[in-house]
Structure 1
């Protein structure tokens, strides 16, 4: 048996039931991409020509006119916004983020101004633009979008994510119609979405995806859509995009991942994920204070997760302490805990290796048994947990 590379490097061999999170390595890269990357790394290639080949594949899979690969979805957002500001004016491209003389406003729904590991608005500011919020966090209407668009508006950004407010927002088709009536292009952040064609079909002019999430490619972003806007975004590589460049292996690996996506047994993968969810749900059914429910993805991706509700009085532990105990044990199991203050967390089976679903269940039972044996309810202050996370960041690399 091969030694786990993570052990060799001195990092923890975690089990990821959080999902396609960049901070955990995003996804299991598909074998086709791994092989392509290995074969490309020793070779030389004209990068712009390789991007042309990527464009052909991206256009076929997304229905867009053209596309290219960049460093990440966040980079793609910045480049797409910059392209909407400068067009193909090379002098303007070299001046950014100095946006004097350019349209420099980007309208975004207030309910979409979230963090995906960094603030959405920062991806806008890097281009030299400023965000114009539309509506309120929990409600937005077409007239508010129309009223926010001025002669300085370069683009309208729409974010599709489980992090955004999931009610009271303007649907994409209406958002696009209002923006287009005002002559403003629409850019969609679809970093972690399965649907490669629906957003352009709904009216987006440019869509940006992560290549390293559900696609199972290397770390990167995919920019797809209207040729003039994608070309202008691509040209940012001689300006602010220089620091967001992607290598030959990233482009080739993304091409391979896209082609593999066309051949993937999506139904078979979904069936395997559902078996893991059922295993966990049944395995937790008799646990005091634990209610496990299979729930659909909030942005309509064809996948489900297990929502684990924790009654601290009966389970003898809070949801966040259980999540932390799972992460601290052996093997470490990382759950999706972004809403844990409400007394629950999620478990996502999309990144499991064979048999890991059983290891996850064993770890859950182990930590729940420990909690039941505790003389008091395990309930550390949630505020302390938040402080520890910030302190841990500030201590890096220690």
Structure 2
């Protein structure tokens, strides 16, 4: 923003003035970049004509922000990226899209919709795409810029770029993560993608195996069974998507779900479970296979823990 629109206007839909983690908001980021925010449309509906009517002598950039951590539903309208790109070309303005989630794969077959890969957005004509190095990409926390080489070079020469550059450890971690994509092994090697890719059938088999192990280790003192459930993607992406899963539910006759949750949380290392319908449940989607035995032992030990309430 500072490179492309310092002292000039950036046009963005009012419905895309997002706030991300840490209470950072688009208007505040814009102000720090010394760009002038030009809001168009309304919270729930923005048309192409809203952008076109806002363009003037001071306009430097058209900005589209993917609402990766929330959704506006109902009576809504937003401008598809290709239409905004055509407007930008007609008026000689670059189009920048903040994708946010860092997704690089087509996740629709996995049940995650409306999270277009960054490559797809560039193919649709966006001049710049910004996204996170973590979240769905699965690497270290970082901000990534992709797009037209001439714009990237201008941004690289901004003095702020030197001050804000990441360190070598971040580059190394990012390179290691991206290598998994290059070799086609991202869904096996990147934890978040491995979780998203695991099928309900696989999770059911793992949950059953874990429940059998809990009953065996606890000599029947802990009741363990499996239940159908859903996994939320979270992490700043796909806020409404739920993936089918199978849950490990555990209980003890003389202890409440709150007692059991606290006992697991106080372990070293802690086990973070959740309470659903007054039952303590754990989603095997979030548990690596090589940690199943450790989880079973922790759950079995609940039969020995004292109630705190």
Q: TM-score, normalised by structure 2?
A: 0.61
The CA deviation at 1:359 is 7.5
- Provide, for residues 376-396 of structure 1, a one-character-per-residue CA deviation record: whole Å limited to 9, x for no partner: xxxxxxxxxxxxxxxxxxxxx
- Provide, for residues 9-32 of structure 1, a one-character-per-residue CA deviation record: whole Å limited to 9, x for no partner: xxxxxxxxxxxxxxxxxxxxxxxx
1:209-358 matches, cutoff 5 A: 209-236=131-158, 238=159, 240-266=160-186, 268=188, 269=194, 273-275=198-200, 278=204, 292-293=229-230, 304=243, 330=267, 331-333=270-272, 349=285, 352-355=287-290
2:79 counterpart of 1:175: no
The CA deviation at 1:201 is 0.8
In the other structure, the counterpart of 1:394 is: none
User: Partner of 2:198: helix, strand, or coil?
Assistant: helix
The CA deviation at 1:224 is 1.0
The CA deviation at 1:186 is 1.3
Task: Provide the C-alpha distance between the structure 2 equivalents of 1:148 and 1:327, rounded to a whole number of angstroms.
Answer: 55
The CA deviation at 1:144 is 1.1
In the other structure, the counterpart of 2:100 is: 191
Task: Provide the C-alpha distance between the structure 1 equivalents of 2:43 and 2:179, rounded to a whole number of angstroms.
Answer: 38
User: Partner of 1:233: helix, strand, or coil?
Assistant: helix
* Contact 2:264/2:298 (<8 A) preserved: no
Q: TM-score, normalised by structure 1?
A: 0.49
Number of equivalences? 249
In the other structure, the counterpart of 1:140 is: 46
Task: Provide the C-alpha distance between the structure 2 equivalents of 1:171 and 1:305, rounded to a whole number of angstroms.
Answer: 30
Task: Provide the C-alpha distance between the structure 2 equivalents of 1:261 and 1:326, rounded to a whole number of angstroms.
Answer: 39
Aligned CA RMSD, in angstroms, stands at 4.6
- Provide, for residues 125-172 of structure 1, a one-character-per-residue CA deviation record: whole Å limited to 9, x for no partner: 221113222211111111112122222222122222432435422222
Task: Provide the C-alpha distance between the structure 1 equivalents of 2:19 and 2:299, rounded to a whole number of angstroms.
Answer: 29
* Contact 1:112/1:165 (<8 A) preserved: no
User: Partner of 1:170: helix, strand, or coil?
Assistant: coil
User: Partner of 2:125: helix, strand, or coil?
Assistant: coil
Task: Provide the C-alpha distance between the structure 2 equivalents of 1:82 and 1:260, rounded to a whole number of angstroms.
Answer: 33
In the other structure, the counterpart of 2:28 is: 122
User: Structure 2: 5+ residue runs without aligned partners?
Assistant: 105-116, 189-193, 211-223, 248-255, 275-282
User: Partner of 1:190: helix, strand, or coil?
Assistant: strand
Task: Provide the C-alpha distance between the structure 2 equivalents of 1:280 and 1:326, rounded to a whole number of angstroms.
Answer: 23
- Provide, for residues 39-71 of structure 1, a one-character-per-residue CA deviation record: whole Å limited to 9, x for no partner: xxxxxxxxxxxxxxxxxxxxxxxxxxxxxxxxx
**CA radius of gyration, larger in:** 2
1:42-191 matches, cutoff 5 A: 81-85=1-5, 99=6, 102-103=7-8, 105-117=9-21, 118-167=24-73, 168=76, 169-191=78-100
* Contact 2:133/2:144 (<8 A) preserved: yes
Task: Provide the C-alpha distance between the structure 1 equivalents of 2:40 and 2:297, rounded to a whole number of angstroms.
Answer: 47
Higher strand share: 2
In structure 2, do the counterparts of structure 1 residues 202 and 248 end up closer, same or farther at CA, with 3 Å as the change threshold?
same
